[in-house]
Each structure stands twice: as C-alpha cells, then as structure tokens.
Structure 1
Amino acid sequence: FNIFENAFAKSVLMGNLDGRMFEEKTRSELSKDDEVIDDQGNVVEKKKKSLEDVLLDTWEDGLNADISELLSMLTKSNINFKTKENGWTPIMIMASIGVKETSSAMRQLKRLGANPSIVDNEGWNALHWAAFHGSVDGMVALVNGDEFNGMTAKGGNLHTVKDKEGKTPETIARSEGNIAVAEIIEKRVEKESESNETAAQDGLRKRK
C-alpha cells in the first residue's frame, strides 16, 4: 500500500495549503472540456452558452481569445447580433481584439453577411473599434477593396461616421496614439480621392 496514492493522506502529510485534495479546480479555472461533479459524484450538465456569453467572453479574453467557439456559432441569421447592454456585434469584437486569426476570421464574417456600418450605443462602427484598439489586421480587412471596402459609398463610408462625441475613426486612432491604423485610413482616403478624380477626368473626356 502506497500512502501517497491516498489523496487524503497525501494532503495531510504534504501540507495542503489551498484545501484541495483531488486536483479540484475553481470556477475560473474550468475549461470547456472539464467535467463538473456535484457532492454526490454526479456529473452536472453544463449550461449551454448563449451567443452573447461567447461574444463577451471573446472580448474579455482579447488577444488571447480562442475565437473558434464564436466562429462556430455564427450564421447568416445571427451574424449581426447585438449585445443587450452595449449593442456590440461580432464584427466589432473581431475587428479589434488583435488575434492572429483576425484576417481569416474577418473573411468568414464577410461571407456570412457581417455589416460593419452598424453602430453600438456610443455611435461606434467596426472601424471606430479597430481604430481605438490599434488593430492593424482588423483595419486592413475593413478598408481593403477585396474585402469590406468600408471606405467607399458602397461599403458605408465608415471613416466619415462620427460617434456621439463627434469623433471619426481616424480622430480616435490618433488620440489613442495608434498611428499605424490612422495612416491606413489616411492613405486609403488619398487613394479614393485620386480614383474619384481620375474617374471625373475620364467622364469629361467622354463628354467632349
């Protein structure tokens, strides 16, 4: 008989400082793969998380978020879901948290019909979110002509939208010191301006 195979004896002899004998976990330490057991030894059925729960958990985990659970829950019918308290949408979260899978995730959201023009309770659209949090990949996806093309009339002219304090995404980016994302907006504006000017000149030539 090996006394150290007995959890109670091992706990007493080794000096259990946190009161755990059976490798228990606290609620905050539980992962989605862990089983929860009641005091009778029965497995407790886990409550299924709502989309709002998963969305807020993803936001809270930020850069370290595992976005697979959120992406697996999104469909064409719920892609523009808004949280009850703040009006946050999946694309706002995805455009701002800065995970390494941002680019591919944003493409998936676009295929499902995500609308970056929707604003939250502060008047922020997805571009405001990316600007405030300095997410380069999120910003690129939103302004890229091959993706959301958000800085055109068809894409919602996201960069011109002012929040409830009268701030545009570029204003917010610069005030937060996120110069890289601010310059993405600035350069895209210049590019669109040049394209519009060229189109106008071509129109004049045709009329002549």
Structure 2
Amino acid sequence: MAKLAVMLPVMLYARKLDSEDPQVVLYLRVAYGVVQVCMIIVVLICMQKVSSKAGDSTVVYTEKAKGFMDDPKAPKKYIKSTRGACYGGKMTEFRNSTFMGIAMTVGLHYYKGMVMGLCMQCVMAPFNAYENKIVKFALFGAGDMGEKLESDLTKDDLIVEVLPDGTENVLGKGKKEGKAPAIEDKKDNKKGSDKKLSKSAFEELLLDTWDQASEADLSPLLKQLTVSSVKWTTSEQKWTPLMVLCGLSGAPGFEDGIRKCVELGGDVRASDNDGWTPLHWTAFHGNATAAKVLCEIGDIKKEDVGRKDEEGKTVRTLAEEEKNMDVWFAIEKALAL
C-alpha cells in the first residue's frame, strides 16, 4: 500500500509532463542518470557485502513466495539451502532486476521516446531498493534476510524443493510446535520451546555443555535460548551463553547458536569476571569463525577490539599468546582494520 501511495501520484505527475519540450526531457535524463548511477553503486556495495557470506555453509530455510492464486491461509513453504547460496541467489536477483530495469527504461526512451519511465524510475528505483532485503542487510545493518534456522521452523511449515519442471516436492515439516506455550515471560513466547528451565537449571545446562567441549550436543541449549535466558550469566564467572558458544569452535551448530544469541539480544560487549568479552573468548579458544560472525552481525566497533581484560590484554594480545592469529586476521578482514 505504501508503494502504491507513492507510485500513483508519480504516474499522474508524469502524464502531465511535456515530452516534446527538450528542456524537460534533458532534466529527466539528468535526474534519471544520477539516480541510476547511485543504484549501480548500491548494487556494487551489496555485492561486496554479500561476498563475505559466499563460504557460509550454515543450513537455512527461505520462505517461498506465494503466487497470486495461492491460498493465503495455506501453510508456509520453505526451501532448504546454505546461507551462502541463499544470499548469493538473492544478490543475483537484485543485480539482474536492477540492470534489466535500466536497460528496458533506456531502450523504451531511446526507441519510443517514452519519458514516463524516466520519471517513474527516478522515484521508484530508490524506493524499491530501500524495501529490498539485500539492501537492508548490506547498508542498513539488518542481521539477516529473513531466513530461518531449522530450529525456528514450526510443525505448520512445509520444507519443499522446486524441481526443474517447476513442480514441488515436499521434503517434510518443521519440528517446533506452531504455538509457543504459555509461560510467565511474554517476550519468551516468541522464541520459546515447550519447557523452559529455571535460571539455575539453565546455568547447569550451560556449564555441562561447556564441559563437553567439541563433543557437545548444542540442541538442548539452543532450544532454551530466549530473550531472557540469553542475558543470564553463570553465578561464579559471569559467563553468558554467547561467550560459551564462542569458545566451542569444534561443536556442530555453534555458529547457528551465536547468530541466535545475537538475534535474541545477547550482549556482544558483555564481559565476564576476567574482563573477557565474546571476542576475547574467540581469540583465546581459536574460534575464527565465531569472530567473523560477531563482526558481521554484532555491530562490533574498532574500540570493542581494543578493550582490555583484567590483566590488560586485548583481543590481539590473547590471539598472539595462544597462537590463534587466524582469529585476529578474521577480525581485521571483517572490520577492515
């Protein structure tokens, strides 16, 4: 509706333009040229940002858009892919649609003398770009593009694959209950699972997970992460779930856990009793992937990297001492230090 509210006045105004007036046409060409140069720059910036996800093998599920004739009450359908493939595909669509739009508008103006397209695209191109998930991710700090992890799919969601002939093959359903149970913390209802642990029980689960190291099964912990529990700390060392996940470099699923913690509001700048932030944890435990993810989605600043722990050690100092310089190199690359 918002797009329609913008598009209709622009169309009415464009129809009143004198396409025979050379000065009007010149102004439109200049305005259109400036806007499209800006759009090309936006595409290039997005391509550079999305390229950082090219090697991300995290399994994600993207919602398949419903067709015009589809039942709006039908279950949502999700397509399984890796995050790298998902982001790459969306980037390709955005790039192709942008350049195709430029080619069509310029072609119609050059061969048919149409000026309405120039006027429309001067306004609608930036408007459409602002609404695009790629642009929101690359330029406006969105943490993702709306994809879901397997743990986020409900039993009402269908997992499908689209065959080459355009037909769909249903692979299964999500496993989480479609409706969150009634619990005391209303905020937790959005991300909750069937049974929520008390703070002390959650701490025990967190510490047990840590003790299992690279052999840890993270699914019980990830199911217990909520907007409340993600901020809880252990009673003695003040460890947060995000810190622990940043230290579990060998445990399958730790990257999904880090992303979920950040999505739920986990503090990327919190420090434990030793003054270690999650970045310090990645440096000490040699988790370059965790460091890269934190820098990408955690709004990490250069000053965060320079924070000192209780012994005056920075993230780089810890990385050097533990011979984990791959962590520091990942941070340098992500933040362009």
**TM-score bucket of the superposed structures, by smaller chain:** 0.5 to 0.7
Instruction: Structure 1: state its 5+ residue gaps.
Output: 1-47, 193-208
Shift of 1:80: 1.2
Where structure 2 has 5 or more consecutive residues not aligned to the other structure, the ranges are: 1-197
CA 1:186/1:111 → structure 2, altered by over 3 Å: closer, same or farther?
closer
TM-score w.r.t. the length of structure 2 is 0.39
- 1:100 maps to 252
Q: Percent identity, please.
A: 36
Q: Aligned partners of 2:333, 2:224: CA distance in 1, in Å?
A: 35
Q: Equivalent of 1:54, from 205, 211, 214?
A: 205
Name the counterpart of 1:22. none
Deviation digits for residues 3-28 of structure 1 (CA, Å, limit 9, x no counterpart): xxxxxxxxxxxxxxxxxxxxxxxxxx
| One-letter code aligned to 1:150 | I
* Alignment map for 1:68-147 (pairs within 5 Å): 68-98=219-249, 99-144=251-296, 147=297
Amino acid aligned to 1:82: T
Contact 2:284-2:319 within 8 A present in 1 as well: yes
Aligned Cα RMSD in Å? 1.9
The answer to whether structure 1 residue 173 and structure 2 residue 315 are counterparts is: no
Letter in 2 for 1:112: L
Match of 2:308 in 1: 162
1:184 and 2:335 are equivalent in the alignment: no
| Number of residue pairs the alignment of both structures matches | 139
- Scaled by the length of structure 1, what TM-score is found? 0.63
Deviation at 1:101, TM superposition (A): 1.2
Q: Distance in 1 between matches of 2:291 and 2:252?
A: 14
SS of aligned partner of 2:274: coil
Contact 1:102-1:137 at 8 Å conserved across structures: no
2:333, 2:278 → 1: CA distance? 19
More strand by share: 2
Q: Distance in 2 between matches of 1:101 and 1:54?
A: 16
Q: Which SS does the other structure have where 2:230 is aligned?
A: coil
Counterpart CA distance in 1 for 2:289 and 2:333 is 15
